[in-house]
């Protein structure tokens, strides 16, 4: 299977370049972490000593390959700030980000699929036009803006949902769920627009196919034609976009986590950038990039599995 092999090689090359690039960018950041830790009053000897302890006195490329070696065995080093292992820090935050990601996707799909199905029943009709305008409007909302508006509506005006703060699952499933509603709505209410548009246009294409004509000719009611015959073959682009979203959100959503004070991977990264905690930033970015690339790779594979036409063309060539 030369196609899969070529994809794998590409995956490895991209990952190598991304981590190297991160390492270089993060390491030319100004602000010596030794000074950040020791404070402004530290003597040059202290700083030099700490730099040596942290391994910062060695050349950058040496440090990179050192880091890469241990990263491949699952060790991303320890935070310069508090000595916490970076892998542990990421794993602690990951469930929050994953929950946010899943809930946001559920909301986005929950709006996108019904709206797309209803709007292709009569393209150009009143529902189609209203939903297209709504999608256009939501697409123009930056997430930090929508987050603020949602807080204003649901917390300040009606006092229905908590504005910020996170309740861990261990302290009650319901409280946890409630604390995640606004953050995931902020993501989902923007995301559904893209999913809906893609699904709608694919559905319109599918509905022109002969097998739909056959299904109609058999006398099936329109909703069965849509749900049972048109939806599945129209969902490939949707899945691709969904994969891109999931890949993008695996590292958390920096802004949404910041607005709602959620302890996710995104805020971990932001804190690392502010604190000049290079090793933490390096590890988190590498994790995010790997997640993004690997998920996209998997989606490419899934695409080939789901659509026989893609598989056929690719495997023959």
Partner 1 sequence: MSASAAKSTVVAATRPRRRWHWALALPLGWLLLVVFLAITADWIGLPDPSAQELILRRKPPSAEYLLGTDNLGRDMLSRIIYGARTSLIVGICAPFLGFLVGGAIGMSAGYFRGKIDLLAVGFIDILLAFPSLVLALTFTAYLGQSLFNVTLALGILSIPAAARVSRANTLAWANRDFVLAARTIGASNWRIITREILPNLLPPMFAFWLVAISVIIVAEGALSFLGLGIPAPQPSWGGMIADGREALDVAPHTALIPAAVMFATVLSLNFVGDMVRNMVDPRRSAL
18 binds partner 1 (CB under 8 A): yes
Measured from the CB of residue 251, what is the shortest distance to partner 1 in angstroms? 6
Q: Of the ranges 19-27, 73-81, 85-93, 299-307, which one interacts with partner 1 (CB under 8 A)? A: 19-27
Measured from the CB of residue 161, what is the shortest distance to partner 1 in angstroms? 14
255 binds partner 1 (CB under 8 A): yes
Q: Which of 68, 181, 220, 293 binds partner 1 (CB under 8 A)?
A: 293
How many other CB atoms are there within 10 angstroms of residue 170's CB atom?
Answer: 7
Q: Which of 61, 106, 130, 145 binds partner 1 (CB under 8 A)?
A: 145
262: left (phi over 0), alpha (psi -120 to 50) or beta: beta
Spatial neighbors of 104 by CB under 8 A, at least 6 apart, are 183, 184, 185, 187, 188, 191, 249, 253
Task: Find residue 78's DSSP bridge partners.
Answer: 85
Q: Which of 270, 279, 280, 304 binds partner 1 (CB under 8 A)?
A: 270
Q: Which of 1, 41, 72, 156 binds partner 1 (CB under 8 A)?
A: 156
φ, ψ for residue 206, nearest 5 deg = -60, -40
72 binds partner 1 (CB under 8 A): no
14 binds partner 1 (CB under 8 A): yes
Q: For the chain, give percent helix, strand, coil, nearest 5.
A: 80, 0, 20
- Asked whether the beta carbons of 203 and 118 are under 8 A apart, the reply is no
d(CA 175, CA 145): 25
- The CA-CA-CA angle for residues 34, 38, 39, to 5°, reads 110
17 versus 106: smaller Cβ distance to partner 1: 17
How many other CB atoms are there within 10 angstroms of residue 164's CB atom?
Answer: 15
Q: Which of 292, 299, 300, 304 binds partner 1 (CB under 8 A)?
A: 292
69 binds partner 1 (CB under 8 A): no
Residue ranges in contact with partner 1 by CB under 8 A: 10, 13-15, 17-18, 21-22, 25-26, 28-30, 123-124, 136-137, 139-145, 148-149, 151-152, 156, 163, 248, 251, 254-255, 258-259, 269-270, 273, 281, 285, 288-289, 292-293
């Amino acid at each position: 299977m030369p196609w899969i092999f070529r994809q794998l090689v590409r995956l490895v090359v991209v990952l190598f370049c991304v981590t190297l690039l991160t390492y270089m960018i993060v390491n030319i950041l100004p602000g010596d972490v030794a000074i950040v830790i020791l404070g402004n009053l530290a003597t040059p000897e202290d700083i030099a000593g700490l730099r040596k302890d942290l391994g910062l006195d060695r050349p950058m490329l040496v440090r990179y390959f050192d880091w890469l070696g241990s990263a491949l065995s699952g060790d991303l080093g320890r935070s310069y700030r508090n000595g916490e292992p970076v892998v542990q820090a990421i794993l602690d935050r990951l469930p929050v980000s994953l929950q946010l990601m899943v809930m946001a996707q559920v909301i986005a799909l929950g709006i996108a699929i019904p709206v797309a199905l209803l709007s292709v029943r009569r393209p150009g009709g009143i529902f189609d036009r209203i939903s297209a305008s709504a999608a256009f409007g939501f697409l123009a909302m930056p997430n930090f803006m929508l987050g603020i508006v949602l807080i204003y509506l649901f917390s300040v005006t009606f006092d229905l949902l908590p504005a910020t703060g996170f309740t861990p699952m261990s302290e009650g499933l319901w409280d946890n769920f409630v604390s995640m509603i606004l953050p995931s709505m902020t993501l989902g209410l923007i995301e559904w627009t893209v999913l809906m548009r893609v699904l709608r246009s694919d559905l319109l294409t599918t509905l022109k196919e002969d097998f739909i004509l056959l299904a109609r000719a058999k006398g099936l009611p329109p909703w069965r034609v849509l749900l049972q015959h048109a939806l599945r073959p129209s969902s490939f682009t949707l899945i691709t976009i969904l994969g891109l979203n999931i890949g993008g959100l695996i590292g958390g959503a920096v802004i949404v986590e910041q607005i709602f004070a959620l302890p996710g991977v995104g805020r971990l990264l932001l804190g690392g950038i502010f604190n000049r905690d290079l090793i933490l930033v390096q590890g988190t970015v590498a994790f995010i990039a790997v997640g993004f690339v690997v998920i996209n790779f998997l989606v490419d594979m899934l695409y080939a599995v789901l659509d026989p036409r893609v598989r056929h063309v690719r495997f023959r060539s």
